[in-house]
Structure 1
């Protein structure tokens, strides 16, 4: 069925009934979705008679409306920008200035935004025939950008997933936002393979709402903070342990969380991927996880990874270096620029491939802290601090220092009434001296987005305020 979609995307609406969409969607009004998709598709066909492909912003809150808009835009081959309806005015103004949309699906009337005239330059070179799908990324850095995908790049990811897990159809239980690549790809996997798709907001799940369905044949995708919350509830812990596979990605997971999941026999599948690769390109299979492996797993069939040094030379197994990705699911660029080189993508992550081909991630180059000439990856320090069970959350960064270049600073949410001195004492025999944070800033909450990633701009404000009081 996947080949049908790749060859002729305009056929989606014609085969909705053949897919049995009413039986595929759980927790949504499928008839409303189908009706809206047909209405919007017809409207777009009339607009396309002029030969102009108008740019669509899709910011619908209701899953039915979001999916209807997505299907209609792709079927009509209109460029569609997937957006978070909860972005603030400043973020939406960024989007409007960048996209200069012609059509907006979603209620943005309450926002006081200036609407620039729609006179943006077209993509250069011209876009391919496959519908352009712009997926947001980079929000945690404070600046939103859109990775340019097509139906074909997303389908390459679906095909790689199917082959890796040796499946004919994929059932998904989606608690992540559909505008995000991790939510959208769950829809794509189920919709294009004839699987079922259950949609439930995570807050509703956390409150105890679950569907009466057989979940042992379902995949669910979570970020680490979501898994942590579910494991704090015994009934939800039992529920999550019944899934065929629990994909875990979006942010690094810490050892304590992984051990707890393994203790409860959660069929966890830690993943490595990003918006630019249309979700995961490496995944640790659940059996490997339950048998004690701790890494990002093997590379999916549609992708390749090479590890290079700073000179660009390919390194052998177990040698850490910079990660370069080749994948059929790679984005074409960041809107509005199409990349000149599309056959590979060099990322900011440092890692290595072991002798069995498993990917091990050490950290991000940009997160690396150099203190007194020593390289420090925050993930290792954060994991060690979490293992003390004295903090609810932790983020370690480097702040400029005249003597050391950078010094480690821990921004943390203490558990109970633990002091920074008690935490430092607990880790002093587990880390080298230069890896123990010099500054400790206690906060009530850390600025994380829905995928569990830290908002660096807001974090810097917390650090400045915290250090000014020392």
Structure 2
């Protein structure tokens, strides 16, 4: 295992010969900060000080500049203080997170889509001391001390250059769950103890040292955060925009080698005409519709990689372009050092082809929710909360465990119906969910976007012709759009309330 990790890191260029300056920066960063974000920028400042670290709406910052600026900013925070970050993608988010690491403060990554009431509840639940926020959120902030991001420049300029304490206490990183079913919970994410987690992702996604990576997914979300952390290990240049615009993202891609997206963003970019050359498009954060996968592979070439995971388990599997060309709906295979099991309700492995509960083991399983609860575990593996099956060695996700319905005594998986309907001409988006039914207990309802030429009967006939009769949605609603959170996940709770 150790040998495979080292070989993967060498192949990606993470481990390579260093000059005296680069070696000194790497060693000095490790002795001072351990393997943290602070170590990453200290190392970058030694190995490639003049390389662009961040390109955002405010310009360009080099690795040396980010390292110095975050050391100055760190003096504004205190060890064990809990800082809430309510920022869109850009330097303020990254520099605040890194400054927290340098002083040993906790960082709570706040979802920019939360309401005023949700923010107040989260701030109380997570015991946040103060907030760093974009000024656009001034009207929804809880009653706490706040540093607006347009004021950080003065904090950095006024920050002392005196050395920071060596090996500060490890600050905790707290990510909020998606909140698709209510107020989001805080999930404590571990700091990587080594470069093995980076090697795991690089074993299936062939990123390289010095890549230029566009991160369109929100940094407060687990996928955007993973892109940032992996990019730092690679000494990459990160291209960030405060707001996602498909045309702008495609223009940015002309100067990039890789792009991290969530599926709905990829779908919006496919609606544009421009097709820049990219070596890698990495997608995660929500289910990737097979039709979107197939079209991306056709129009951009064999460059699409799809990661299946969650805030709690980080990653479970990654699908390569070759695997999705064969099976567009697959979630792929577990990467290096990852264990995956599909079991029945008694915890027994199910045969290939049978649907069961997905459990995962890797080095980045979360440390539990901040309210003291956790996910179910089995022999060192953690539940993803999803159902799935294996076919020809590949993983397929059937949907959420709590979304499966029982209709007339039959188990029905809404995800199967969503995948089928998404292949219909004219359908751009679709969500299927269970609703109460007096006769059958539950039935399926389909919410369809973009199918102007289709009727509800045609939708039902298509399902009837391809799936079991109990998978046919009794209710079909044509809507202009699906409600989504800031990370791109469909808010099925809102659809259920509208039903």
1:36 offset after TM fit, Å?
Answer: 4.0
1:206 lines up with 2:247 in the alignment: yes
8 Å contact kept, 1:154–1:329:
no
1:114 offset after TM fit, Å?
Answer: 4.7
* 1:358-403 Cα shifts (integer Å, max 9, x gaps): 2221222111121101111111112222222243322111111221
2:88 is paired with a residue of what secondary structure?
Answer: coil
1:429 is paired with a residue of what secondary structure?
Answer: helix
1:233 lines up with 2:262 in the alignment: no
1:186-201 correspondence runs (5 A):
186-201=227-242
Name the CA distance, whole Å, in 1 between partners of 2:250 and 2:392: 44
* 1:263-319 Cα shifts (integer Å, max 9, x gaps): 2225211221111123x3311122333355641111111321112111112334444
Moved more, 187-196 or 261-270: 261-270
Match for 1:184 among 202, 225, 235?
225
Name the CA distance, whole Å, in 2 between partners of 1:55 and 1:393: 39
1:67-466 correspondence runs (5 A):
67-106=94-133, 107=135, 108-111=137-140, 113-114=142-143, 130-152=170-192, 156-165=196-205, 169=209, 171=211, 172-201=213-242, 203-207=244-248, 210-211=251-252, 214-215=255-256, 218-235=257-274, 238-239=275-276, 242-264=277-299, 265-278=301-314, 280-292=315-327, 294-337=329-372, 343-354=380-391, 356=393, 358-463=394-499
8 Å contact kept, 2:84–2:128:
yes
8 Å contact kept, 2:375–2:382:
no
- TM (normalized to structure 1)? 0.84
- TM (normalized to structure 2)? 0.79
1:170 offset after TM fit, Å?
Answer: 6.3
Name the CA distance, whole Å, in 1 between partners of 2:468 and 2:374: 42
Name the CA distance, whole Å, in 1 between partners of 2:376 and 2:113: 34
1:166 offset after TM fit, Å?
Answer: 5.8
1:91 offset after TM fit, Å?
Answer: 1.6
Name the CA distance, whole Å, in 2 between partners of 1:166 and 1:441: 41
1:209 offset after TM fit, Å?
Answer: 6.0
Change (3 A) 1:334 1:14: same
Change (3 A) 1:202 1:40: closer
2:359 is paired with a residue of what secondary structure?
Answer: strand
8 Å contact kept, 2:246–2:272:
no
Name the CA distance, whole Å, in 2 between partners of 1:310 and 1:141: 23
8 Å contact kept, 2:41–2:66:
no
Change (3 A) 1:153 1:382: farther
* 1:241-265 Cα shifts (integer Å, max 9, x gaps): x222212222222232222223222
8 Å contact kept, 1:156–1:329:
no
Name the CA distance, whole Å, in 1 between partners of 2:195 and 2:176: 18
1:231 offset after TM fit, Å?
Answer: 1.5
Change (3 A) 1:261 1:253: same
Structure 2 gap ranges (5+): 1-13, 16-25, 146-167
Name the CA distance, whole Å, in 1 between partners of 2:410 and 2:139: 50
4+ aligned runs moved over 6 Å, structure 1? 1-4
